[in-house]
Amino acid sequence: MAATYYKLSCYDEANGVYGHECVNELIASRLMNALCIEHAPYRLVHARITIDGQPFETWLSESDSFRKQGQSKMALARFYGLNRLPGEGRLEFCQRFGWGAEVQKTMLVDYLIANRDRHGANLEVLKDRSGSIRLAPLFDSGLSLRFSTFNSSQLADVKPTGDVVANNFLGTRSLEQNLLRFVPPGLGIARLTEAHERAFFQGLETALDGAIQGVSGREFARFLWRMIWERWCRYEDFRDSGRLQAQG
């Protein structure tokens, strides 16, 4: 039976449970599902939990292990360290193993959701009993969608298409530079449309209430959609104008 994982948003002793990382996981999951990009599906759970004897009523993200029976996993950073050739860069390494398309799709997703934390353990390698090796489905995308914005004045300062400096294991630290330099036009993904807004945020307004002080869940959901949509339109502009070029 597959293991099930639960994850809080943020917690500290002074503020308790706060933020919206667990909701972000579900939004990212719905986005990748719409684009036909392989990922770990997430669900949102309303739960009563206890931390250090203190009860909380909150939201959790829930996901099942994507490992099949007989599979083992390893962080991509460790796998790279153990198996790279002398002088071989990280992108070259992924190309050698045939993972170029998966890396490009990851860079696109991270750009669309402004993900700040695709480090070397947020990408994993799966190996089965026959020795076959592949990249794992995408997972752990919660540090995205302005996760560190907590009030209306901070939100008002956010530019939906602004670049984000990220803790990327692959490519550059700039999400936009990764998009421009490494993501080619033909990714073989589905197209995002404005009709996806309802599907992405269905049932999430209550969970987003209170995530941003002074902003209703409905308003915040609308902002997050505008952010995703404007970034998608920017990607399409770059792609259609021929400015997207794969360089390794």
According to the model, what pLDDT value does residue 185 have?
82
pLDDT tens profile 18-62 = 999 999 999 999 999 999 999 999 999 999 999 999 999 999 999
Report DSSP letters for 153-174, one per residue. HHHHT--TT---B---SSS-SB
For the cut 50, the answer to whether the pLDDT of residue 246 exceeds it is: no
For the cut 60, the answer to whether the pLDDT of residue 240 exceeds it is: yes
The model's confidence at residue 248, banded by pLDDT at 50, 70 and 90, is: very low
pLDDT tens profile 149-177 = 999 999 999 999 999 999 999 999 999 99
Provide mean pLDDT across the span 192-214.
96
pLDDT tens profile 83-139 = 999 999 999 999 999 999 999 999 999 999 999 999 999 999 999 999 999 999 999
Yes or no: say if 201 and 24 are a contact pair by the CB < 8 Å rule. Answer: no
For the cut 90, the answer to whether the pLDDT of residue 205 exceeds it is: yes
According to the model, what pLDDT value does residue 242 have?
65
With 0.75 as the threshold, say if the pTM is over it.
yes
d(CA 30, CA 38): 11
CA 220 to chain centre: 18
| Amino acid symbol at 23 | V
On whether the 72-240 domain is CATH 2.60.40, my answer is no
